Amino acid sequence: MVTVTGNCHSPNIYYLIINMIIDRLKPFFLWLHDANHVANFQRKFGILPNDYPTDTVSTTFLNQNENFNNNNNDSSSQYCNGYDLNKHITNGYRNAKDDDLKTKSSQHKGHERKITYDTNVIDECIEEIQHKKRSSSSTAVAQQLVSKTELADKSKGLLDYKIDNWFWYYFFQFGAALGNEIFYILFFPTWVWNVDGSVARKISILWAFFMYIGQATKDILEIPRPRSPPVLKLEKRYLEEYGFPSTHAMFAAGIPLSLVLLSIQRYDFNIWIGIAFAATTCVWVCLSRIYLGMHTFLDIIAGTIYALFLVYLMFPYVDAIDQFQLNFALAPLLNFSIGILLIKFYPSPKQWSTARSDTTVILGSAFGLCSATTTMFKLGLLKKPLTPPIYSIIYPNYLHCLLRTVLGLILIFLTRQIVKNVVLRITCFIYGLDYRNPECKRLAKIEMPYYYLTYFAIGFNISFSCPVFFRAIGIGRDYSYTEI
């Protein structure tokens, strides 16, 4: 009887223990999620709010419960972690009289910038840096450049920022770029064309796995980004996404570590140098997201732990998945279909954000790259190495590396421009929409094929068309032991 009673109540004991642990840790989690820590980090590294004229607006940004009033004291603003009562997302705060504020634009001192939904990633990064540098100009210079309308808009109380230390600005901007699409565009082509296609292929499998889960988790939990104010948000592209867990932290923790673990299985090098490189990259990217005001410390810690856990789960199966990709003739068709299903079952967001399209880009790129390798292997363009690993590192012909990178990126750019325009026009024609209207790209029935087909083609060309072209013109690299 005692044994039965103990078994019946043992689950309750476990629940009590879990709840007790959660209750003990909850204050610590709330402390990590405090937006004031992010604001203090920004201030220490030179991100400061602009000094608006005193007759226009008066601000105090370090009190999380502060109400912001204009000079007439006839209205106030309230905040809920970056969201106002009318669901307006701003870089600063909402004035109650500003009912016509649009969430699709982000206004700054002396500058108004529309948030775009389909721009070249490199162009957008350049535009963002140029925009921020302009916004840091002195008040006197800015007033000479802006119109009376823009000055009136500033008086509505939109908090802005200025850069007080340009070294840290570029240091953290570059660190953040290591987790952005611009890095994906450069990393995978460079690794496939100049280093090791086998490692790049397996990295893409892990990348798609934990980034899909991470993005879906964010849209399911719906935990907002840090409250603004006090945080100053420098990156406009991701404003409408949720913040927990940080997928940039997941990328920064998962990709470098996976790269080291996969490379050590094939090449002879000092693993501790690789671990140090992976850890440095992870910390750099994570702190950069804090600097940009896009995540709390809890977001990046959770993202890092989440990525390490998912890599731990997935890593033992990567070799088996890769061998299946190489040997199964219908793998490209299967990859394409799985990608469509994953997009179809992606959690539907309550409001539009870039999360869904970014996830589609990742899936398209990864499945396209893997499908191309299957095609290469079945055509006899890839052969198994004569000797098993471990291999010594052989340094390539640097001139050929440069030529492959430049010519390859040109081909990828042409692929992107051609495929995206063709897909956009065809899908808009099917649904009776005007392809010239940028709002069409926000519709799921247009957005999903638009991004998926474009980046599937890009991934395929990275791993098939470009290597074949390089061989044809005599600048192909040695594929004897780097592909399988």
d(CA 2, CA 469): 75
Reading the block at residue 360, the tokens are 């589609």
Tell me how long the chain is.
Answer: 484
Reference 85, options 71, 99, 68, 64; nearest CA is 99
Taking only Cα atoms into account, the Rg of the chain, rounded to an integer number of angstroms, comes to: 25
DSSP 89-155: B-SS---TT-TT--TTEEEETTEEEEPPSS--HHHHHHHHHHHHHHHTS-HHHHHHHS-HHHHHHHT
Residues ≥6 apart with Cβ < 8 Å to 24: none
Return the number of other C-beta atoms located less than 10 Å from residue 205's C-beta. 19
Question: Given phi > 0 = left and psi -120 to 50 = alpha, else beta, which region is 381?
Answer: alpha
Residues identified as active-site: 248, 295
Running DSSP on this structure, what letter comes out for residue 441? G
d(CA 307, CA 330): 30
Residue 209 CA to chain centroid, in angstroms?
Answer: 14
